[in-house]
Structure 1
């Protein structure tokens, strides 16, 4: 990720995360983000670890891969369950006009019950937006025209 920092700290036996550089830079490129991505990246609480609307600690629940029709960019979605200690709702992100979707996965943390969100970053891109989500064992990268993030009840 360009601004958000996520690093494993062997002394802590956990991750150090820092979104301050992203939050500081966001006003410079916020208006270049498509409407849905701009609303999601700017949402109050998005990077406030004490907020129910913070993405940190959400648990990966489902990935619906992009579909294409007649060579046109398709749609995809990623759904996250709430962390029972922090969130009252889960999060569903729907991506439209998907031109790239990847999950780089490396099972390296075998002591966690779920794959969880560490942090994410939403940046303008020539396709519209690139959204990267760093998870405990993976990185999800999506380039698309726009995204819609909705807080929902997830079983």
Structure 2
């Protein structure tokens, strides 16, 4: 994981992760003003890192990652499926004017989706707009774009 502030570290027994969004939330106070509007709204959502909230990102899984060529700009959409025990909606992340999309995966054990379940994410200012990294149990996704929007939706 390349995340600068949020902590996602495998437990010694390899059955889970130690998660700590607090260093990112503390840094966000100084970073938010440099994020584009959509990314700033997404990162500052109070339910985002509240593990007891149905709007927390933890445990979502990738349903689809789509790339759309809109002429001079690329758009990436990541549709995240809800965890049946935690969420009542899925989450659609849409990135505008994408400059970089990177997906890194580990070998899965075949019992869960290849990337696994979402653990934490962080959106950081980038010269192109925003760098958004999403850490999963079996890999990560990094998108660098002009901005992002996040919308919860029924699946």
TM > 0.5 fold call = yes
Q: TM-score, normalised by structure 2?
A: 0.92
Question: Which stretch of structure 1 is more off in the superposition, 108-117 or 48-57?
Answer: 108-117
Query: Which residue number corresponds to residue 63 of structure 2?
Result: 61
Distance between the aligned counterparts of 1:8 and 1:54, measured in 2?
20
Q: Which one is further off, 128-137 or 2-11?
A: 2-11
Separation of aligned partners in 2, 1:12 and 1:116? 15
Match of 1:75 in 2: 75
Aligned to 2:17: 15
* Alpha-carbon spacing, 1:109–1:23, altered in 2? closer, same or farther (3 Å): farther
Alignment check: 8 A CA contact 2:61 2:113 kept: no
Q: Give the aligned partner of residue 124 of structure 1.
A: 125
- CA distance in 2 between counterparts of 1:153 and 1:45 reads 18
Shift of 1:137: 1.2
Q: Unaligned stretches of 5+ in structure 1?
A: none
User: Once the two structures are superposed, what CA deviation does each residue of 1:123-148 show, in whole Å capped at 9, x if it has no partner?
Assistant: 00000000000011121000000000
Deviations 1:19-73 (A, max 9, x none): 110011111010111110000000111011001111011111100025362xx33
Q: What are the residue-to-residue correspondences of 1:16-95 with 2, within 5 Å?
A: 16-67=18-69, 69=71, 72-95=72-95
List alignment gaps of at least 5 residues for structure 2.
none
**Structure 1 residue ranges (4+ consecutive) displaced by more than 6 angstroms after TM superposition:** none
Q: Distance in 2 between matches of 1:100 and 1:81?
A: 23
Aligned positions, number: 152
1:6 is aligned to 2:12? no
Deviation, 1:113, is 5.7
RMSD over aligned CA atoms reads 1.5
